[in-house]
A and B are shown apart, each in its own frame.
Chain A
Amino acid sequence: MLDLTGYDSLGAALRDALARFAGEVCLIEADREKEKERLTYLDFQRRAHPLARGLQDSGFAAGHRASIIMTNQSKWLISAYAIFFRGGVLVPLDYKLTPPEHWQLLKHSGATVLITEYHIWRQLAADPGRAGSAVGIILVTEAPPSADLHGALRWEEFRGAADPDLIPRQRTDTACIVYSSGTGGRPKGCMMAHECYLSQCVALTSLYPFWPGVRYLSILPTNHAVDFMVGFIGPFTCGAAVVHLRTLRPEFVREAFTRYKITYVTLVPAVLKNLQKGLQERFAALPPAKRALLNAMIALNKLLTRGRPRLWISRRLLPQVHKAFGGELLAIVVGGAFSEPQNLQFFYDLGIPVANGYGLTEACTVITVNDLKPFRADTVGKPLPGVEVRIVNPGQDGIGEVAARGRTIMSGYLNEPELTAETIVDGWLMTGDIGRLDSSGHLQLFGRKKNMIVTEEGKNIYPEDIENVFAGLPVKEFCVFAANFVWPRRSMTGEQLVLVVHPDSGGPSEEDLLREINARNSRLLNYKRIHGVVFWKEDFPLTASLKIKRNVLAEQLARLERESAVRSL
C-alpha cells in the first residue's frame, strides 16, 4: 500500500496509486451475467485524466464543488478521482433521493458541477427545483445518441487533450461534503477533510488489509461513507480491485461471489439477515444425516475459531458453505446500521468473519470496529487506532453518551455553526448514541439519545425530513418523533417513527384522519414511513418564534403508555 502519511490530499495519493499499480486490475463492472468492463489502474488513469483536463479547461479549480449522483459503477470512481485531482470538493449524493431532494442538497452544497446518469438526469431536468441552482456544468453518462440532454453534456465526450494539472491541497482542506440528513429539514452537510480519509484509511487497512489481487464487492452506494472508504479509497491506495454490479438482485449478487472470488464485501444488516435466512432454509432442506454432519462441523469450527478466525480450517470443515461465497472471502463488513448479535454469530460460526463496527458520517466511516481477537458479536468492537472514545456522564452501570475524538472527525456542518457547536464539544464528537465500554475496551451500544432512527437497510431517517409530506393535514398541529426518543428503549433495532397529531376541534374524525395519514404516508419511500399515530389533545409547547419545542413535547408524551398511546398504521 502507499504510505499515506506522506500525502496531503486524496488527489495526490490516488494519482500515485494509479501509476504504482498500473498493471493491476482496479475495476470490474458486471451487468447480470455479462461482464461489461475490466479496467487496470492504467486504463483508469487514461479515462480519468482527460476528464480532469476537461474540468480544468472549463475553469474547475481548487475548492470548487462537484456533485456525483450515480449508481455504483466505474464512472463514479473515475469522476471522483478527476474532481480530487483538480483540487475540488466532492459532494456525493444518494441516487435514491427524489429530484426535489437532490436539488435542495445541490443548492445547499453550492455545487457548480453535477455528474450523473442519464435516467437520473431525465427526472432532475424535469423538476422545477433546478431553478436557482448554481450548477453550471452537467455531465451525463450513458445517454442514448438521440436524447435531449436539456443543457447537459455527455460525460463520454467531455475531455481535454492535454495532461491535466494536479492541484495540491492541504490535509485540513475539505475533500468531501457528505450529507448525513437534511432533505426536508436542516441539511447536515458534513465537511470532511483530506486528513479524515487519509488517517482513517491507514487505520482501517491495518486491521483489514487490501493488496493487489483482493476483490472487493461494492454493493452499498458509494456515496455512503462506508463504501467510499472500503470500496474506493482503501482498495485504490493498495492496488486492489473493486467489483461493481449494475443490478442488486439477490441472485446476481450471490453469483458475483463465486464468479469473481470476492475477498471482502460490505452488507447492510437487512441483506445479512436475508443471507442467513437463505442459508438456514438450505440447511433445513438437507437429509437428516447430512444435516447432522453439518451441525457437527459447525460445532467443531466454533470450537477451533473461538480465539480468532482460522479460515483455512473453516474452509476445510465447511467447504460447501465457503464455496457458495466464492471460497476466498476473508470477511463480510457490516455497515450502515446496527446488526443483531445472533445474526453476526451465525456467520462467524460458519467460519466467515464479520467485521462489524460502529460509525457515523460525521466520523468519516467508523469509530469502532471488531478486531476479531476474539470476535465479539455482542459489541461493536474497539476504537479504531487513532480514535479515542469516552462515555459522557455515565450512570452507575457505566452507560452514557458515546463521544469520539480523533483526526477522522469532520470539521463541521456546512453553513451550520450552531449545529456544529452542539455536535462537536471541546473537540469531542457527541454521537447521540448510548453505550458503554466494557473491561476489554469493546463498545456496547444500548440505544439513542437523538431523535432519529436507522433502518436495517442503513438509512438514517430524521423526523424533520419527512414532516413535509404531512404539511396541510387538517389538524391543529403535528410533529414526527422517533418512538425510542419519546419512550427510551435499550435497543438499536426495530426502530419506528410516530406521528403526533393535535386534532382540531370540529375537524375530521380520528378515523378520517387516519385514512388521510395513511394516504400521505404511502407517498414516502417505504423505509421513510411512519409506523403509528398518537392523538394528543393538548397544545404543543412552542418557542417564542412558534417552533415546536420537541424535547418538551417528548417529555409530555413520555407520560403516556407507549403501547396504548400509539395507534399502529
Chain B
Amino acid sequence: MRTLEQTTQEVLTLAAQHFNVLIGSLSPADDFFKKLGINSLQALELLTRLENHFGIELPDYEVQGVSDFRTLAERIQSRL
C-alpha cells in the first residue's frame, strides 16, 4: 500500500510527464491550473492518466473544485 507521500510524488511525476514540464518543477502545494497553465478540460485529461496508473476510477465530481496536487493525491489515496 502506497503512503500519501508516495501517491503525491507519483501524481507530480505523471502530471509533469503529461504536460511536458520538468519533474522537479512541481510541488504538492502547487495550483495545477496556474502552474501548468491548463484549463479544466486539460485537467480532466490528466485524470484518465492518473486512473490508469493507480488502477482506480475517479468520478468527475471527486475532483470538482480541486486545484492543488496535494488534495488531488488525497482523493486518489482514499480510493486505493
- A residues sitting closer than 8 Å to B (CB atoms) are 32, 71, 96, 98, 117, 119-120, 246-251, 270-271, 274, 456-457, 522, 525-527
CB distance from A373 to the nearest CB of B (A): 32
B48 contacts A by Cβ under 8 Å: yes
Can you list 20 A-B pairs, Cβ within 8 angstroms, ordered by A? A96-B65, A98-B65, A117-B61, A119-B61, A246-B59, A246-B60, A247-B60, A248-B44, A248-B60, A249-B44, A249-B45, A274-B41, A522-B31, A522-B67, A522-B68, A525-B67, A526-B33, A526-B34, A526-B39, A527-B39
B47 contacts A by Cβ under 8 Å: yes
- Which of B39, B40, B48, B65 interacts with A251 by CB under 8 Å? B48
CA–CA, A251 and B45, complex, Å:
8
Q: Which residues of A contact B48 (CB under 8 A)?
A: 249, 251
Task: Check A525 against B65 for contact (C-beta < 8 Å).
Answer: yes
CB distance from A101 to the nearest CB of B (A): 11
Task: Check A270 against B64 for contact (C-beta < 8 Å).
Answer: no
CA–CA, A342 and B62, complex, Å:
35
- Which of A247, A251, A522, A525 interacts with B59 by CB under 8 Å? A247
CB distance from A273 to the nearest CB of B (A): 9
Task: Check B67 against A270 for contact (C-beta < 8 Å).
Answer: no
Q: Which residues of B contact A274 (CB under 8 A)?
A: 41
CB distance from A422 to the nearest CB of B (A): 33
- On whether A71 and B40 interact (CB within 8 A), knowing A250-B45, A251-B48, A526-B67, the answer reads no
Q: Which residues of A contact B57 (CB under 8 A)?
A: 32
- B residues sitting closer than 8 Å to A (CB atoms) are 31, 33-34, 39-41, 44-45, 47-48, 57, 59-62, 64-65, 67-68
Task: Check B40 against A457 for contact (C-beta < 8 Å).
Answer: yes
Q: Which residues of A contact B41 (CB under 8 A)?
A: 250, 270-271, 274, 457
CB distance from A541 to the nearest CB of B (A): 33
Interface centre among A249, A456, A457 (most CB of B within 10 A): A249
CB distance from A440 to the nearest CB of B (A): 35
Q: Which residues of A contact B59 (CB under 8 A)?
A: 119, 246-247
- Which of B40, B60, B62, B64 interacts with A527 by CB under 8 Å? B40
Task: Check B31 against A71 for contact (C-beta < 8 Å).
Answer: no
Interface of B: prevailing SS: helix
CA–CA, A14 and B49, complex, Å:
42
CA–CA, A277 and B11, complex, Å:
25
Q: Which residues of B contact A250 (CB under 8 A)?
A: 41, 44-45
CB closest residue in chain A, given B46: A249
CB distance from A406 to the nearest CB of B (A): 34
Q: Which residues of A contact B39 (CB under 8 A)?
A: 270, 456-457, 526-527
CA–CA, A307 and B45, complex, Å:
38
CB distance from A537 to the nearest CB of B (A): 28
CA–CA, A136 and B52, complex, Å:
42
- On whether A96 and B44 interact (CB within 8 A), knowing A246-B59, A522-B31, the answer reads no
- Which of B34, B40, B62, B65 interacts with A522 by CB under 8 Å? B34
CB closest residue in chain B, given A525: B65
CA–CA, A457 and B38, complex, Å:
13
CB distance from A346 to the nearest CB of B (A): 18
Known: A98-B65, A270-B39, A527-B39. 20 other contacts (CB 8 A): A32-B57, A96-B64, A96-B65, A119-B61, A119-B62, A120-B61, A246-B59, A246-B60, A247-B59, A249-B45, A249-B47, A250-B41, A250-B44, A270-B41, A271-B41, A456-B39, A457-B39, A457-B40, A522-B34, A526-B31
CB closest residue in chain B, given A527: B40
Q: Which residues of A contact B33 (CB under 8 A)?
A: 526
CB closest residue in chain B, given A117: B61
CA–CA, A249 and B59, complex, Å:
10
CA–CA, A246 and B48, complex, Å:
14
Q: Which residues of A contact B65 (CB under 8 A)?
A: 96, 98, 525
CA–CA, A98 and B65, complex, Å:
8
Q: Which residues of B contact A249 (CB under 8 A)?
A: 44-45, 47-48, 60
CB distance from B4 to the nearest CB of A (A): 21
CA–CA, A334 and B71, complex, Å:
33
Q: Which residues of A contact B31 (CB under 8 A)?
A: 522, 526
CA–CA, A457 and B34, complex, Å:
16
CB closest residue in chain A, given B30: A522
Please provide the 9 A-B residue pairs with the shortest distance between their CB atoms, ordered closest to farther. Answer: A526-B33, A522-B31, A249-B44, A119-B61, A247-B60, A249-B48, A274-B41, A250-B45, A526-B67
